[in-house]
Amino acid sequence: MRPKRLQTWIDSQYENPRGLVGTYIGQKMVRQHRVEVDWTIQQLSLQAKDRVLDLGCGAGDAMARIHLTSAETHVTGLDRSPTIVRSALRRNRVAIGEQRAAVIQGDLGTLPFPDKSFDHVFSIHTLYFWEDVSVVLVEIERVLKPGGSFAITYCDGRGNVTWDGIATLVQEQFIPAAVRLGLTDIVEARGPDSRDYHTVAVTGRKPV
């Protein structure tokens, strides 16, 4: 069993990757999360020329995967970690050069985009780290175009174990906050297991 201090440091690297270790963790997450990345993209039902925001884009794998099947879609990735932003820039350099993608360092609580900028907003494995669910949802609602959709993917357990903390967060904070903002069609969708982790997404829409 790892010492508590070491485990705390490792956990902090997953939240905000830094330095060489952070770069390695970013690449590790690309390999580990491909199943839920592809499934989340499917939930968005992308159309040509949609504008998409990936919150907590990590090393930019989801951005690159979108362009494999939807080359005309413009994808913006945002992440708080300068280390991981550099990885995302490298992975998507061709699309960025062709102005089909952008990667920005920033915070989920104060998104640096105008109102009604995106047709879709998604985020994969960041919900655990949101400091204030209501604040992030306010920002998501603000930057979504009317009729736009969101998908927030996370894991709520592994094997026979359910993680009550994240399930409670979704039921008692996320969904009520989304309803208060007027977001509609809110659904919890069960996705494919990934490495025995249970994949879930909360999806919804901003009314027209």
DSSP character string of 167-195: HHHIIIIIHHHHHHTT-EEEEEEE---BT
State the pLDDT at residue 71. Answer: 87
State the pLDDT at residue 21. Answer: 56
State the pLDDT at residue 1. Answer: 52
State the pLDDT at residue 51. Answer: 98
Return the ∠ at Cα 206 (arms to 198 and 136), rounded to 5°: 60
Contact status, residue 160 vs residue 186, Cβ threshold 8 Å: no
Helix or strand run (H / E) with residue 117: none
Single-letter amino acid, residue 6: L
C-alpha–C-alpha distance, residues 140 and 108, integer Å? 9
Contact status, residue 96 vs residue 103, Cβ threshold 8 Å: yes
State the pLDDT at residue 12. Answer: 53
Run means of pLDDT, 10 residues per run, the chain, 208 residues:
50 54 61 89 94 96 94 95 93 96 96 98 96 97 98 96 95 98 97 94 98
Report which of 61, 52, 38 is spatially closest to residue 153, judged by C-alpha positions.
38
C-alpha–C-alpha distance, residues 72 and 9, integer Å? 40
State the pLDDT at residue 33. Answer: 82
Classify strands 74-79 and 51-55 as parallel, antiparallel or unpaired: parallel
C-alpha–C-alpha distance, residues 109 and 139, integer Å? 7
What domains are there in the chain, each with its CATH number? Answer: 4-205 (3.40.50.150)
DSSP assignment letter at 16: S
State the pLDDT at residue 10. Answer: 45
Single-letter amino acid, residue 104: I
State the pLDDT at residue 149. Answer: 98
